[in-house]
Homo-oligomer: A and B are copies of this chain.
């Protein structure tokens, strides 16, 4: 019982009972493996009779989608469970509640989120979420600004930095987001027609490569706030009333822009995808307008909320004396958010891990066009990021580039 073993649908109920004694004696139990992630086993254990359920997530010591050739520290599950506990408090429950983390099994038993869908899936079905902007900006402000040196006692912040040093997971991002998509790397998942296109527009563009390298170094060196580390639309469970952010195993102290940029990039890719996938003009226009409004509002509401809470939360004794520091700090986040969004868009097109928004475009010609447009728009975000300081700057760049009004 005190040794690691790999869970499966036959073992997971006994495991949960032994750890938590969660279910009634007369429970009608159903266990299923629900994970589609690349790094972990994820199970739902459900008592159908009393409608009670938990999620069990176990890290495996390698990257699951690749196999045992790519070993990966299972210590990441400890980072994930610790971060969930911190963010649960900071956000008043906008992440799953952790019931138990088991250091021997590298397993987390946590709240089952029923009646939610993955936001990426919901957006691909043209659903809209009226509370999303307010809730995700609360999440960003509360998890990022509140864990920065603006607010935290600096020694306590450094203890967090130390606790969340996450070398292997950061390496995945450094390689798959900030490096390999920018040359002809073996692990890239790239269609043949994209190779000459990437050579011409990205791989041989030395100015672009320089800018991406700057962004990579910002990612590696700028210990600004306690990031989720993978905050795309596939990491957000959503419905009409609420969001729950999941899967923070990439957590570490990094640039705030990394979390926001990943989110914005994935909204943009849904926009480009909708434009070529949706055959109902009215629905298409409505959804694309919704996405642009969402992008604009996420950025502007984020800024507004930062400015609003700033006087209440600032503790650093120099920031307190520097009324203009807030604008400098937030401007810097905006600029780098645009840069991160560009890197994320490119890596999701030609890197190892793609998104359904682009790969799911059925028409081959349209898929190729969308991929190329996505890369060219991404370049604009990276190269023009210094001019992107408001929500409308994001939207105008997208609209102008895509030839819309």
Contacts and interface: CB of A to CB of B under 8 A. Distances in A.
B167 A165 contact: no
Interface string A187-212: 00000000000000000001001101
Interface string A206-226: 100110111011001111100
A70 interface: no
A368 interface: no
Interface stretch (A105-113, A322-330, A359-367): A322-330
A166 B317 CA distance: 20
A221 to B, nearest CB: 5
Copies of this chain? 2
A23 interface: no
B210 A154 contact: no
A14 interface: no
Contact of A212 (B149, B155, B318): B318
Contacts of A210: 322, 324-325, 328
A60 to B, nearest CB: 19
Given A213-B325, A322-B209, A328-B214, A155 B179 contact: no
A192 B178 CA distance: 54
User: Binding site of A, secondary structure by majority: helix, strand, loop or mixed?
Assistant: helix
B165 A324 contact: no
A168 interface: yes
A216 B170 CA distance: 25
Interface string A158-199: 110110011110110010001100110000000000000000
B322 A213 contact: yes
A213 B318 contact: yes
Contacts of A322: 206, 209-210, 213
A123 to B, nearest CB: 31
What is the size category of the interface that chain A forms with chain B? 35 or more
A18 to B, nearest CB: 34
A152 to B, nearest CB: 10
A179 B324 contact: no
A382 to B, nearest CB: 13
A319 to B, nearest CB: 6
A178 B329 CA distance: 17
Given A154-B171, A162-B165, A165-B158, A319 B149 contact: no
Given A171-B155, A223-B223, A216 B178 contact: no
A321 interface: yes
A179 B149 CA distance: 14
Contact of A178 (B223, B318, B324): B318
A206 B154 contact: no
Nearest to A225: B221
Contacts of A209: 318, 321-322
A329 B220 CA distance: 14
A180 to B, nearest CB: 8
B178 A158 contact: no
A321 B183 contact: yes
Nearest to A208: B322
Contacts of A154: 167, 170-171, 174, 220
Given A154-B170, A162-B165, 6 more contacts: A155-B171, A158-B167, A206-B323, A210-B324, A213-B325, A221-B224
Interface of A: 149, 154-155, 158-159, 161-162, 165-168, 170-171, 174, 178-179, 182-183, 206, 209-210, 212-214, 216-217, 220-224, 316-319, 321-325, 328-329
14 contacts: A154-B220, A158-B167, A162-B162, A179-B318, A183-B317, A206-B324, A209-B321, A210-B324, A212-B318, A213-B318, A213-B321, A214-B325, A217-B329, A222-B223
